[in-house]
Structure 1
Amino acid sequence: MTTSLTKTPEMRRYYVRMGISMAIYLVSLFSADWLIEQQQVAGPLAYLLAAIPGLCLASIFWILVRLVTEQTDEFLRLLLVRQIMVATGIALTAAAVWGFLEQYMLVGHVTAYWWPTIWCFATAIGGIYNKFTMGTAGGE
């Protein structure tokens, strides 16, 4: 059994896919921001440019599904699924609680793209949870 998730061929493919997605994300984010803010584009093209960074964030979930389904080591797959579930629980709970607070005008509005961003950061908490409850986060 492989004890290190970071050294598997599946993880190397994950890093390549994630690197490509995040490169497109950064380029599209800064391009859309500049082009739309400077009023260089408008109409349907502006909508398309504004949607591309969000689609890149959505690709993270496809990339993770690929990682989980390609992972041949059942224990490492378990660690990945637990990490993803913890992150999902944290992000959706935060979104729901904030949504109710916002509904009753107790807090200000949070732009929706922050929820998948919170999810990404929450995957680290999922890894810590795995380390404390399973003895490993899969990176050893």
Structure 2
Amino acid sequence: MDKAETSKAAAGRGPGFWAGLYVASSAVIAALRLTDAITATAALILFFGAMGLLIPLVRAGERQNCASPVMVRYNRRFLAASFGYVLGLGIAIGIWNTYELSGPVVFAIALLPTLPTFAMIWAMARYLVEETDEYLRYRMVRAAIISLGGVLAIGIFWGFLEMFELVPHIWAWWVLPVWAVGLGLAQLWMKVRGE
């Protein structure tokens, strides 16, 4: 091995590898669940495990892009909130499907996945406050606006299709995963374009 190969091997796999592994794992879990090969509880546990792949994904991205301390803190905060979201959602769904509940208890259970979403919003706001590089702040705001525009367009389009009974109803909490995917795609698009 020459110096470049040794250095690359020491740095570990790139973010593309971990992103591909995460997407493939999630797709397999979704396929198993859609075909009733596994229960909803098993799917949730497996999906939570697959989320563990996001940790090396974030670290590889930070290594590759020489992330600033502000971005590292943002990534850690957002990742922790994402794990809290999935865990809260799983617990809430599990309790809801297992027990007969009503009133304030249902409200409290609905807060389990909701509170981590507030942490995600806070993490982004903190990033924008802490980031001193105007260009990096601009990129994050632009990606967030592109993602928000995508969520609004999809939501409006789906809402009208649903109103005219062309598609089934979708719960509003799907806004967060769609927005998060849109945020990642917007950042990728800007990177590919060299912006």
Q: TM-score range by the shorter chain?
A: 0.7 to 0.9
Contact preservation (8 Å) 1:5, 1:76: no
CA 1:117–1:6: 2 relative to 1, 3 Å: farther
CA 1:64–1:6: 2 relative to 1, 3 Å: farther
Cα deviation code 1:50-105 (max 9, x no counterpart): 22202312332221111112111111111111111111110111001111111111
Cα deviation code 1:30-63 (max 9, x no counterpart): 2222222110654312221122202312332221
Task: Write out aligned runs for 1:55-94 (5 A).
Answer: 55-94=115-154
TM-score (norm 2): 0.61
Structure 1, unpaired ranges of 5+: none
Question: Partner letter of residue 27 of structure 1?
Answer: L
Q: Note the C-alpha offset of 1:124.
A: 1.8
Query: Which residue matches 2:179?
Result: 119
Question: Partner letter of residue 111 of structure 1?
Answer: W
Between the two structures, name the one with larger relative contact order (CA 8 Å, sep ≥ 6).
1
Task: Write out aligned runs for 1:9-20 (5 A).
Answer: 9-20=69-80
Aligned length: 132
Bigger drift between 109-118 and 48-57 goes to 48-57
Query: Which structure has the larger Rg?
Result: 2
TM-score (norm 1): 0.82
Q: Note the C-alpha offset of 1:129.
A: 2.7
Moved over 6 A (4+): none
Q: Note the C-alpha offset of 1:112.
A: 0.7
When the two chains are superposed, the root-mean-square deviation of aligned CA atoms in Å is 2.0
